[in-house]
């Protein structure tokens, strides 16, 4: 069985540490697992509960629904969840794409603990299936990647492998 993971980046900066981590995950997955990055978070309109939902939101919800699992990789901004990611998740509260969906949360930041904790609460609110094994906080992330966009910290690499394995196990 092939497994499709949809990755949601929390940073819109193409060279953000989170995107470095996301790219590196592509090299750590088993051959039967594919990671697709949802790259339109910044294009989603601000949440307003409009019905029918805007086309971009309909497409976002469809991609979430079709994925076997979701992987969020994000920095912490101003002790919280980056606004664009929070907005995207708000669009799913009423439609329920996250209910019982296996989710991995990777926070890659300088500190990150507040944003990480806030996101775990949000994921609980939308009934996502997150476990301790699929939750990872990478502190001081910039000291763990190099200029070429490679992860240099072997412990982090092992942790990422473990998170991916646990996520796949939860499918």
Q: Which residues bind ligand FMN (CB under 6 A)?
A: 11, 13, 16-18, 75-79, 109-112, 141-142
Give the shortest CB-68-to-ligand FMN separation in angstroms.
Answer: 26
Give the shortest CB-141-to-ligand FMN separation in angstroms.
Answer: 5
CA 143/CA 95 separation, integer angstroms: 39
> Do 161 and 169 touch, CB atoms closer than 8 A?
no
Nearest residue to ligand FMN on Cβ basis = 16
- For ligand FMN, the closer CB: 86 or 129: 86
Chain centre to alpha carbon of residue 84: 12
Give the shortest CB-25-to-ligand FMN separation in angstroms.
Answer: 15
- For ligand FMN, the closer CB: 110 or 127: 110
Pairing of strands 103-108, 69-74: parallel
Give the shortest CB-137-to-ligand FMN separation in angstroms.
Answer: 10
- For ligand FMN, the closer CB: 113 or 158: 113
For residue 45, give the DSSP letter.
Answer: P
Give the shortest CB-91-to-ligand FMN separation in angstroms.
Answer: 22
Helix 154-169 / helix 17-25 crossing angle, nearest 10 deg: 60
CA 171/CA 50 separation, integer angstroms: 31
- For ligand FMN, the closer CB: 34 or 111: 111
* Ramachandran assignment for 69, one of left (phi > 0), alpha (psi -120 to 50 degrees), beta (any other): beta
Q: What residue ranges in 61-166 does DSSP mark as E strands? A: 69-74, 103-108, 135-138
- For ligand FMN, the closer CB: 48 or 149: 149
């Amino acid at each position: 069985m092939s497994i499709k993971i949809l990755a949601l980046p929390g940073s819109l900066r193409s060279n953000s540490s989170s995107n470095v981590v996301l790219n590196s995950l592509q090299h750590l997955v088993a051959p039967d697992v594919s990671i697709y990055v949802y790259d339109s978070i910044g294009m989603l309109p601000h949440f307003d509960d409009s019905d029918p939902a805007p086309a971009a939101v309909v497409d976002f919800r469809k991609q979430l629904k079709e994925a076997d699992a979701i992987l969020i990789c994000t920095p912490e901004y101003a002790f919280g969840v980056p606004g664009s990611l929070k907005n995207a998740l708000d669009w799913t509260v009423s439609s329920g794409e996250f209910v019982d969906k296996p989710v991995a949360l990777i926070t890659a930041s300088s500190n990150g603990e507040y944003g990480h904790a806030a996101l775990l609460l949000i994921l609980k609110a939308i009934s996502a299936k997150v476990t301790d094994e699929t939750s990872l906080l990478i502190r001081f992330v910039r000291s763990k990647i190099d200029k070429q966009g490679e992860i240099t910290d072997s412990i982090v690499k092992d942790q990422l492998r473990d998170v991916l394995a646990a996520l796949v196990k939860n499918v």
